[in-house]
Amino acid sequence: MLQLRTLTLVTLFGLASLLAGDSAIAHADDDFVIDVGQPQRSRYPLALPMPASGDGASAREVLKVASFDLDIAGWFKVMDKKGFLANLSREGMGIEVDAWKNAGAFGVVKFRTRVTGSRIAIDFKLFEVEKGENPVLERTYQGDKKDIRKLTHLWCNDVVKHFTGEDGFFGSKIAFVTKGGRKGRRGNKKIMAMDFDGAGVHSMSRNSSINILPSWSPSGGKLAYTSYMRDNPDLYVVSAGGGRPKRISKARGMNTGASWSPDGSKLAITLSKDGNPEIYIISASTGKTIKRLTRNRHIDTSPSWSPDGKEIAFVSDREGGPQIFVMKANGSGQRRVSMNGSYNTTPTWSPAKGQRVIAYTTRDGKAFDIVTLDLNTNKMVRITQNEGSNEEPSFAPNGRVLAFSSARRGGAGIYIANADGSGNAKRVYKGSVTSIDWGPAPKN
């Protein structure tokens, strides 16, 4: 127990411009240090020194996890240790303010690990250099030694919350599809899940059939997916902790591309039981059809429910090639929103509050790429370009980062990148994958 004491149809800002008066860095008397609404923000220089004493192996793991988390968050520039000027042995868990000011640090994270048998305690302190030698945030986390990554993710979420007022996504999970089973077995695909940073990869499907299109429930406690384990592409739901999957929808033909309603009570899904792929709403518990949303002779598929439950994005070829459409959750007001390229698929909504932004796969050149589209302003942002083939985006729980599958010169796998189009994508899983779905934020 952790304890906190205080489908598919075919996802870095430089420090050079950082100025003392940058409007992205709030003054000391503001509510939060980093203005998340500032589009031209620079990264906040944050130092994470290795402790001078204590258990070295566990400390190195904490430093590795925390450095990755805070760098990928999009707000911080994790400083190179070669630039540190402070005497770490003398400082201990404190800071000597002038040494860190001279090194260019705005913030400093200090920590220590205490290992007793199979248990570990991690003490963290966060300092804002301009506020002096007293920490602005302190936490102690305790758990089993095997939970060291989870404990570190908790701290990094608290750091993001302190600086921005937003929840972090560290510790969340990504589901995806990869080939599995015995070598040479044709058609076998497995549903896999892992921590967002690539740790803890494990199988969510236990059969040797074709399993595709995973979709996390809003709570993260369940995973819906399509499986051919009984020959027909039926929809199943399994507990995030494993166990026997429950068949929810077994209509003749397709039962694919499920998307959960925000309250978890319903699923938007593609069914072909009436002879043509159309989008329906079904009960998430019984699979009973509640409403048919589309009705035409063309293919409608890949539904994606908006975070407020009012809209559903989907893919249709009713105007020629596949394009992204949006409709109200009752099926009214169907309209095309993608205007670039001749082939657009796999829409997914940003969960960021107050936004109406979708990401999708586009082919407006020779390769597939990831773009985002603001439905309020029609502004489109390219997340990838000239980097091989990139498909099937999925947003992090706070909407700040995208995960997607990629086949590029640097290697195939799952990559994550800032959702505003800045910076370089980082690979968190190696191998050919499809059907990316990023789950909700973890519960502390």
Closest CA to 117 of 85, 138, 143: 143
Q: What does the pLDDT read at residue 187?
A: 65
Using one digit for the tens of pLDDT, what is the confidence trace for 21-51? Answer: 333 444 333 567 787 766 556 889 999 999 9
| Mean local confidence (pLDDT), 231-244 | 93
This prediction's pTM: 0.88
User: Which domains are seen in the chain, by residue range?
Assistant: 12-164 (3.40.50.10070), 173-438 (2.120.10.30)
By the 8 A CB rule, do 393 and 346 touch? yes
Instruction: Tell me the backbone φ, ψ of residue 18, rounded to 5 degrees.
Output: -70, 120
Q: What percent of the chain has pLDDT over 90?
A: 80
Average pLDDT rounded to a whole number, residues 175-193: 75
Q: Which two tokens stand for residue 251?
A: 């209509």
The dihedral through the CA atoms of 154, 116, 81, 91 has a sign that is: positive
